[in-house]
Amino acid sequence: MLLPHIFNPTPTSYYDVLRQFQERLDAGLASGEYQPFVWPYRAFGPNLLILYLLLPPTKSKVVYYARYPLFALIIYLSADSILKCRSSMVTIGYGIGLLNAWAVLWSASLIIWNDARGEFRRIEEHEGADEKLPVDKANGATTGAEKLTDGDLRARRVDGGAAKSLGSLQEHGKRSNSSKGKLFVWQTLPATFHHRLDWVCDLVSNFRGVRWNYQISGLPPPPAHIQSSLKDPSIPSADARSDLTHTDQIRRDLFNFVLCLIALDVQKTITLQDPYFWGLPPSTPSPFPYPRLFRTLLSVAFVYTSLLTVFLLSPIVFGVLLGPNIIGQHAWPWLYPPFFGPPSQIYRKGLAGLWGQWWHQIFRYGFEQAGEFAGRITGWEKMSQKGMLLRVAVAFACSGPLHACASYTTLGDTKPIYGSFGFFMLQPVGILAQRAVSGWMKSRGLRARIPASLRGIINVAVVVVWCYVVGPMIADDFAASGLWLYEPLPISPIRALSGDGFWRWGGRWVRWYSADRWWRSGLAC
């Protein structure tokens, strides 16, 4: 059943758009075209991944090969949710597509392209150095408080901030007789359930791999006192970012969070003045001059501020509000590095710096693993020109479908293929074109004649022009999805001054949904 155009008649306010979204959802639910997103039924796929990872350590071939049918089931369940589920809440609707697509990619990264149960490990702190750890005969490792790996066989204990050598540990993980101080080890899949539950939950939610052996590049290494304990030469040397204290973290993150809240209120107020941000077509007249430039810049600013606000919640909640007294080692300040890099990378590297170092890297590991998998299939080495081109193209070929699925599951008149997917598939073209021009100028000796400051200005100019040309592809898709109609804050002092109301949150967020099968019933949003 094809539903009528959502903007018929043309809305006169953003309230009309929200009402028409609800009408479209109601019509789809009544016809059977749509289903609500129901928890926990629709979260079954990601939960399967967690349950699989929670299986005790074993060398069983059955468990090892079970990951393939499990992954196939995750793909089916995620695709089913993307095709059928919708929500009148714009952020939930966008998240249905984005998170289900990411669940597939992240599952592939953990259990298909890698064997997280056997290969991944994280840095942990352990007390009581005189504990005797028995051998787990199932997998040849130690059990109890932790399971030591080869990286643990040479470790140091930190006592009062001074690193004291423990010497070499025995093959099966025997420790020093001293019971004082702290020991930092590489922890593989633990044997005890409560320990394994903590390890697995951290694994599936730690997309950047901070404190894990799959940590993405560009993040701060562990502090020096942890490195002196691990004695792992593969870890980069600690730097100033590694020594972040809780005081530094509070000062940095709380200040940035407050700035984000103020900026969100300002941006939300401005966007509501332009019907384009309600979801109307780009041809809609704008109250602001240079509509294309204004809308693109404001879309970038709104995306950046919205994401940064969400990202700052983890260091504030876990690192500041809960802190080490409640959640222990999960509150280490170095576990919460900034999600966005310095803007100076755009000045230095242009489009490559924009995407590779400035923009958030939350999905980077999944994209990299897809590229590595493609490299293994083709046999193209990572450092070869073909290998580099392949990996860049694959990374954006993963980002495109993620955002296209998110666009597809909204209730607006979006263009997922042309808009979100097309935008990301053009990015490697721009990056490679800029690199090709830079390489050509360097080979002709022209690049050396241009001052570094001028090269930086040219890089920034290239990014601005590129975003002006291709940016509307995704900006129009964001707007059409109704994404900017979400209410980021419960209160809005600025909009209250204009008479639009102070309290912004309301309505029914969740409800109980009763389906024809009991397992399909649950909380719907």
pLDDT score for 483: 92
Q: Which helix (H) or strand (E) holds 511?
A: strand 511-513
Angle at 406 between CA 404 and CA 412, to 5 degrees: 95
Measured over the CA atoms of residue 127, residue 128, residue 130 and residue 134, the dihedral's sign is negative
pLDDT score for 431: 93
Query: Does residue 182 contact residue 125 with C-beta atoms inside 8 Å?
Result: yes
**How far apart are the C-alpha atoms of 125 and 171, rounded to whole Å?**
20
**How far apart are the C-alpha atoms of 36 and 42, rounded to whole Å?**
9
160 φ, ψ to 5°?
65, 30
Question: According to the per-residue pLDDT averaged within each range, which of 127-136, 347-356, 373-382 is highest?
Answer: 347-356
Expressed in angstroms, the distance from the first to the final Cα of the chain is 23
Tell me the per-residue pLDDT of 241-278, one tens digit each, with 9 for 90 and over: 888 888 888 888 999 999 999 999 999 999 999 999 99
What mean pLDDT do residues 89-115 have? Answer: 95
Domain ranges of the chain: 34-116+508-524, 121-188+206-242, 244-339, 340-482
Torsion of CA 145, 147, 151, 156, to 10 degrees: 20
Helix or strand or coil: residue 332? coil
The label of the residue with tokens 């020109």 reads 385
The label of the residue with tokens 């973290």 reads 249
**How far apart are the C-alpha atoms of 245 and 241, rounded to whole Å?**
10
**How far apart are the C-alpha atoms of 476 and 478, rounded to whole Å?**
5
Kind of pairing between the strands at 122-126 and 141-142: unpaired
Q: 18 or 142: which carries more pLDDT confidence? A: 18
Tell me the per-residue pLDDT of 193-221, one tens digit each, with 9 for 90 and over: 999 999 999 999 999 999 999 999 889 88
Q: Which two tokens stand for residue 147?
A: 């399971």
pLDDT score for 500: 81
Measured over the CA atoms of residue 496, residue 498, residue 501 and residue 504, the dihedral's sign is negative
pLDDT score for 408: 96
pLDDT score for 127: 65
DSSP labels, 29-44:
HHHTS-EE-EETGGGH
**How far apart are the C-alpha atoms of 295 and 491, rounded to whole Å?**
24
What mean pLDDT do residues 428-450 have? Answer: 89
Question: Maximum distance among all alpha carbons in the chain?
Answer: 79
Angle at 151 between CA 145 and CA 156, to 5 degrees: 75
pLDDT score for 6: 53
Tell me the per-residue pLDDT of 112-134, one tens digit each, with 9 for 90 and over: 999 999 999 999 987 654 333 33
The model's confidence at residue 7, banded by pLDDT at 50, 70 and 90, is low
Number of CB atoms found within 10 A of residue 189's CB: 24
Q: Which two tokens stand for residue 290?
A: 């240079």
**How far apart are the C-alpha atoms of 133 and 141, rounded to whole Å?**
9
Helix or strand or coil: residue 522? strand
pLDDT score for 519: 85
The model's confidence at residue 319, banded by pLDDT at 50, 70 and 90, is confident
Helices (H), 275-384: 291-314, 324-327, 344-349, 351-353, 364-378
Tell me the per-residue pLDDT of 460-517, one tens digit each, with 9 for 90 and over: 999 999 999 999 999 999 999 999 999 998 988 988 887 788 888 877 788 898 888 8
Distance of alpha carbon 382 from its chain centroid, rounded? 24
pLDDT score for 495: 87
pLDDT score for 499: 78
What mean pLDDT do residues 380-386 have? Answer: 84
- Please, what is the average pLDDT of the chain? 85
**How far apart are the C-alpha atoms of 332 and 322, rounded to whole Å?**
11
